Structure 1
Amino acid sequence: MTNNSNFTYAVRTATRQGLTRDLPHGPEDLQWVVNSATLIYGEHDAALVDTYTSIDQNAELVDWVKSFDRNLTYIFITHGHGDHFFGIGQLLAAFPAAKAIAAAGSAARALTQGEPKWRDGFWGKLFPGQIPEIVYPEALDGHQFELEGHQLQVIETGFTDTADSTSLWVPDLRLVVAGDVAYNDTHQYTAETTRETREQWAQTAERLAGLDPVAVVAGHKKPDAADDPKILAETAAYLRSFTAVADDSRTAQDLYDRMLALYPRRANPGALWGGAKAAKPA
């Protein structure tokens, strides 16, 4: 956490089981993934960036936000993957004056995740009985909003681990809340990517580094990992390694094995296996 008198932020993490569960092998003690939620707050008001996956996790998030004794004015969603916005309804029930917002593209992508095919056929099967009733973010008019006079700037980041992603830049804290533009000591979700979009993603991470932030909060991180700006370069390097290894691999198993040798202790090897299968379909 960085403290700037009455304007600061805090990060909370929640651990869940990964989405890909048919791994051929891998470190069993790392087969989980963490979502981060970031609260930016001033003397009276606060804005939350992203929520969690399950009913129980989001109930804990509500209690955490309440512990700061601030008026929650905004819930900003970085992109349309369900594990980042499924908690909106529970947060709004607890903080009815808040407004859930996202960039227009992210808000549109979220609508897809709420369709029965995804909510019930995908998320509900992986987390039975745990997915909340879905409330969607509203499309933000413009590319910034304010918290007690401080600008929170929405950066359109295009295709990262999915289309229409964004990050949030808080100049007065020199803070990037990266969403899934950055991963921190966690295998990156590449199942939706192509060679071209992986390079775009890498360049986007490098562009965020050009802001010269003092802290970068990844959408997925190990709980105790520091929010070090170097994770932007590490994110880009992982993507380029994946593409290089994919070019030189014949099968998904080969790609998975070789990337796991390069990154043996990152959390959630299931994301790597899912990406390997997408890059090298049988």
Structure 2
Amino acid sequence: MPTDSPLGYDVFVADPIAQNVTEPVPNGDRRMFSPLSVTLVHGERDAVLIDPPLTSAQAEAVGDWVEATGKNLTHVFATHGHGDHWFTAGVLAHRFGAQVVATEGTIKEMHRNVALRPVFWDRLFPQQIPDAPVTAVAVPGNRLNLEGHDLHIVEVGHSDTDETSVLHVPDLELVVAGDVIYNGVHQYLAESGDGGRDAWRKAITTVEELRPRRIVTGHKNKRLDDDADRAIAETRSYLDAVDEVLAKHDDPLGFFNAMLERFPERLNPGALWGGAVALYE
């Protein structure tokens, strides 16, 4: 990142947590949720938090992390509507007196995820997720200001879900990409059918055209760096492999095993298995 920039960023990676599912993944792994990346973009005094985590325990840890920086948190931004990237936004906003913001499309998807809570999120993580009413508001021009520096909210359409966006920080040559880009973790494929992967590729191209040097992904292996070119290339390669392997296998188990063989180093095969089942329904 530019050494003369008054802005900086830090990343908190919440480790994988167990899902309330007794049946293991076909390779024998316990069903886990992918690691979650929470980003703090900060100036000398103020800061913006991007993609707050899923559970109350994770929010407490993130809140303590933010508090330790001594920064004044002004906004909490969610890149997309999946609950694992915003269900604790209200808790953290209340703790720091910040405002929750998102695009109009993401706000619509937030409401959809609230409706899914009883049958999906709360079944996977019973009594672990706080009350999460949708309090996010859109900001004029999709632009936040941090100590006189613009942070651009860029809408990219469908990636691993609908109505996604990223946060571009030109001063840092940084994109906080949510789930448009992945970094060493199996990608969520359950919403990638019916042209979804082609739309996802367009979203990746939109991010690439911002010319970032660093990308923070919504799900990352914390041992990996934030190199943008590598993360973009690997996310594209994974989607290309999905198309290739789908054409060769008639059932989710065959697809799962082939993808696992192709990408043995990626974290959380459970996410891959969930996507495999959805793609063959």
1:5 to partner: Cα distance: 4.8
* Distance verdict in 2 for CA 1:2–1:223, change over 3 Å: farther
SS of alignment partner, residue 189 of structure 1? coil
SS of alignment partner, residue 127 of structure 2? coil
1:26 to partner: Cα distance: 2.5
8 Å CA contact 1:195–1:243 kept in 2: the answer is no
CA distance in 1, matches of 2:14, 2:188: 18
- Are residue 191 (structure 1) and residue 193 (structure 2) matched? no
Q: What's the counterpart of residue 95 of structure 1?
A: 96
1:121 to partner: Cα distance: 2.3
8 Å CA contact 1:202–1:235 kept in 2: the answer is no
Q: What's the counterpart of residue 243 of structure 1?
A: 243
8 Å CA contact 1:74–1:99 kept in 2: the answer is yes
Deviations 1:148-188 (A, max 9, x none): 11111111111101000001100010000000001111000
CA distance in 1, matches of 2:207, 2:20: 29
Q: What's the counterpart of residue 148 of structure 2?
A: 149
Could you tell me which runs of 5 or more consecutive residues in structure 1 were left unpaired when the two chains were aligned. none
Q: Report the AA paired with residue 107 of structure 2.
A: A
Q: What's the counterpart of residue 119 of structure 1?
A: 117
Deviations 1:107-155 (A, max 9, x none): 111011112xx22221111111101110321123322111011111111
8 Å CA contact 1:2–1:8 kept in 2: the answer is no
SS of alignment partner, residue 177 of structure 2? strand
1:202 to partner: Cα distance: 1.9
* Distance verdict in 2 for CA 1:53–1:253, change over 3 Å: same
1:259 to partner: Cα distance: 0.7
SS of alignment partner, residue 118 of structure 2? helix
* Distance verdict in 2 for CA 1:34–1:24, change over 3 Å: closer
* Distance verdict in 2 for CA 1:233–1:18, change over 3 Å: farther
CA distance in 2, matches of 1:142, 1:228: 28
8 Å CA contact 2:16–2:32 kept in 1: the answer is no
Deviations 1:2-42 (A, max 9, x none): 75453111010102336695455327389551000100110
CA distance in 1, matches of 2:262, 2:120: 30
Q: What's the counterpart of residue 67 of structure 2?
A: 66
* Distance verdict in 2 for CA 1:166–1:252, change over 3 Å: same
Deviates more, 1:266-275 or 1:158-167: 266-275
Q: What's the counterpart of residue 10 of structure 2?
A: 10
Deviates more, 1:238-247 or 1:76-85: 238-247
Counterparts of residues 103-252 of structure 1 (less than 5 Å) = 103-115=103-115, 118-136=116-134, 137-229=136-228, 230-252=230-252
Aligned-pair identity in percent equals 38
Q: Report the AA paired with residue 34 of structure 1.
A: P
* Distance verdict in 2 for CA 1:61–1:250, change over 3 Å: same
Q: What's the counterpart of residue 256 of structure 2?
A: 256
Deviates more, 1:137-146 or 1:248-257: 137-146
Tell me the TM-score normalized by structure 2.
0.93
1:93 to partner: Cα distance: 2.0
CA distance in 2, matches of 1:108, 1:211: 25
Structure number with the higher strand fraction is 1
Deviates more, 1:13-22 or 1:63-72: 13-22
The RMSD of aligned alpha carbons is 1.9
Q: What's the counterpart of residue 57 of structure 2?
A: 56
Give aligned pairs, total.
Answer: 278
